[in-house]
Copies of this chain bind each other. A is one copy, B any other.
């Protein structure tokens, strides 16, 4: 490769790194203050620069959340695909999906918080149509998994399928609101306990 080429690659890589850095702090501010409530100047403050300077790196405030959310979703779906491709039984698939979800929270905590709080609002706009797509895909994945599990005799047949789906979906993701990396419980610890609760219940009685 020519020197010109190497330089171009070097600066492109540096630029991408700075971009990711700024995006990470933006995600944290969005997550803690709420997207609509945070000003571009607050994000710039957290990044140690002035408001206008952010526009050298990003087109708009909207494009920042866009990149935060789509990066997270791409990563999440990649890990889901791996699980689904393994061809496990319904219960094992469910366990693996829950573990993958908590690891996703571990890697993208601010993005998950933003996704939870703002996706409903953002999804209304054209630009964030992929949020609606992801949501639909997520729902179909779980509903069919639960149906398969019930047919296989792994899950109780006396529960409302839609309710169970929402239950799992919600319980998995809300944890992002209080989870912190390096805390008392690791993401895998939490996944294990969550699975114990959801699968076997918190009751001591076995009737």
Residues of A within 8 A of B (CB): 33-34, 36-37, 91, 117-118, 120-121, 153-160, 163-164, 166-167, 170-171, 174-175, 177-178, 185, 190, 193-194, 196-207
Contact: A202 with B159, CB < 8 Å?
A: yes
A67→B93 CA distance, assembly (Å): 46
Contact: A167 with B34, CB < 8 Å?
A: no
Contact: A190 with B204, CB < 8 Å?
A: no
A204→B152 CA distance, assembly (Å): 10
Contact: B204 with A156, CB < 8 Å?
A: yes
Copies, count: 2
A156→B174 CA distance, assembly (Å): 23
Besides A36-B36, A170-B174, 14 more A-B contacts (Cβ < 8 Å) are A34-B118, A37-B121, A153-B204, A154-B203, A154-B204, A158-B196, A160-B193, A163-B190, A163-B193, A163-B194, A166-B175, A167-B197, A197-B201, A200-B201
Contact: A121 with B154, CB < 8 Å?
A: no
What B residues does A160 contact at CB under 8 A? Answer: 185, 193
- Most B-side CB within 10 Å, residue of A196, A199, A202: A202
Contact: A201 with B204, CB < 8 Å?
A: no
A103→B37 CA distance, assembly (Å): 31
Contact: A203 with B117, CB < 8 Å?
A: no
What B residues does A37 contact at CB under 8 A? Answer: 36-37, 121
